[in-house]
Structure 1
């Protein structure tokens, strides 16, 4: 009796964008180990059942549901049925949401999945096939609508508190320019003009993660760009600011849920 053909896992990455990262992927079973991003991960399941652990409970996304995973929240990913699952996802930096919302604490969607038609509609223009491109103004309009819809649907009531958005943004920009160096909180404090503990608090509230995690994510973002050029993992690690390849690998798995080698393999299959 012939065996049923098992579909291969794959990931397709959209052409680079200055604003967001977009992927489309298929996994036949287990997808990702527990990991976390410092971006919003906003997506839609196209087929199958997309199951994941998120904030202490098991979630199941069906076709038509909108997933909104908050920055720095641990989650994993696997197929909820034997069919496997296919999905599209966009990754948006909290800093971009902040530029639209003007320094308010980040919106949060309880449970990480919503059937709210407003968010379905707001994400539709950005969750297109990865081989489709946007005009710059089209992308900006879609991002503005999405940020405002997130604030409406997932807005929270906070105690009144003053955040120094300017100081936090100065620190964030400095991290982008020097992520491969050994950056300290004291250094960020001096550059931003904000005492370090207030800066750390504001950074977390405004950008969804700690300064150290933000540095690590910029290093891993750079790693992925360099890995696809064929540079050795050891050289990529040093160039990115990690102490060695094993240090990079630990952070890669912790952050993305898969090893650098497996990531390269499934990305190459999708290209």
Structure 2
């Protein structure tokens, strides 16, 4: 995926099929509008300065460090200098981390940046596998190392109440099966066997976002797949369960920081 940087912005998604979404991108100025998604965004600046607003402050990602943006945290992205910035990013679903941690609160790395060598080592294998389909065992092994590194770097959160991981996982699987469509808290309460507000608190602690926003992201993921397959914006919006194209576009920007039209244009730029 790494080629010389051209003067125009681009995003290249890895064609590799696996559990983790991988991209490499270059932006000369403003990259992303403020948005939040339900995955970790973990990556590395390859050149330039990657600047972004995160938790009330402007941060600057430099080569040699690791970016760790927590699920459901609002952030944007822009070039910190005139030369622009190039970076690689992994989008990792919290469920993959929970398969290793088994119900601990989701690790949170303060500030969104880390120079801890454990994270640098743990992300190297996943960030390298951008051009070829990763071996499934290699990917699972790398995810295991990454989950432990995140947990170690984040440290322990004290004073947390008990969390019902199996109940929250039943609710999450139900949302996945429904592609986020037509779901109510009553449904999740029935499926999980957990009182709705306790379930909502546990869901946030384990998966980093609310059941509603998680369901919305499932619809957006389906919509994005339809767009890449060549469906029109209006048809994809309706197929994914949005009221209309405008509704989908608003949610798309909130989830990815780009309009669907600009996202498609950036993918085609390479």
TM-score, structure 2 normalization: 0.96
What is the aligned partner in structure 2 of residue 73 from structure 1?
A: 73
Report what 1:11 is aligned to.
Answer: 11
> 1:180, CA displacement in angstroms?
4.9
Task: Tell me the residue number matched to 1:149.
Answer: 149
Are 2:129 and 1:91 equivalent residues in the alignment? no
Contact 2:55 2:74 survives alignment (8 Å): yes
Cα distance in structure 1, aligned partners of 2:78 and 2:207: 28
User: Residues of 1 paired with 2:213 and 2:254: CA distance?
Assistant: 11
Match status 1:249 vs 2:232: no
Kept after mapping to 1: 8 A contact 2:16/2:132: no
2:125 corresponds in structure 1 to: 125
Alignment gaps of 5+ in structure 2: none
8 Å contact from structure 1 (residues 108, 156) kept in 2: no
Higher alpha-carbon deviation: 217-226 or 124-133: 124-133
2-structure distance, mates of 1:110, 1:19: 25
Structure 2 Cα separation of the partners of residues 6 and 16 of structure 1: 23
Contact kept? 1:45, 1:61, Cα under 8 Å: yes
User: Which runs of 5 or more residues in structure 1 are unaligned?
Assistant: none
Q: Distance in 2 between matches of 1:160 and 1:106?
A: 12
Q: Do the aligned residues in 2 keep the contact of 1:31 with 1:76 (CA within 8 Å)?
A: yes
Q: Please state how far the C-alpha of 1:101 moved relative to its aligned partner.
A: 0.3
Partner of 1:230: 230
Give the 5 Å matches for 1:206-221.
Answer: 206-221=206-221
Deviations 1:35-89 (A, max 9, x none): 0110000000000000000000000011111000000000000000000000000
Take 1:132 and 1:63, find their aligned partners in 2: how far apart are those partners?
23
Structure 1 segments (4+ residues) deviating >6 Å = none
Cα deviation, 1:108-144, whole Å, max 9, x if unaligned, reads 1111011111111111101116213310100000000
Q: 1:246 to 1:112 in 2, by over 3 A?
A: same
TM-score by length of structure 1 reads 0.95
Contact 1:28–1:79 at 8 Å: present in 2 too? yes
List per-residue Cα deviations over 1:212-267 (Å, max 9, x = no partner): 00001111111111101111111111111111111100000111111000000001
Q: Contact conserved, 2:53 with 2:59, CA < 8 A, in 1? A: yes
How many residues were matched structurally? 266
TM-fit CA distance, 1:6 = 7.1
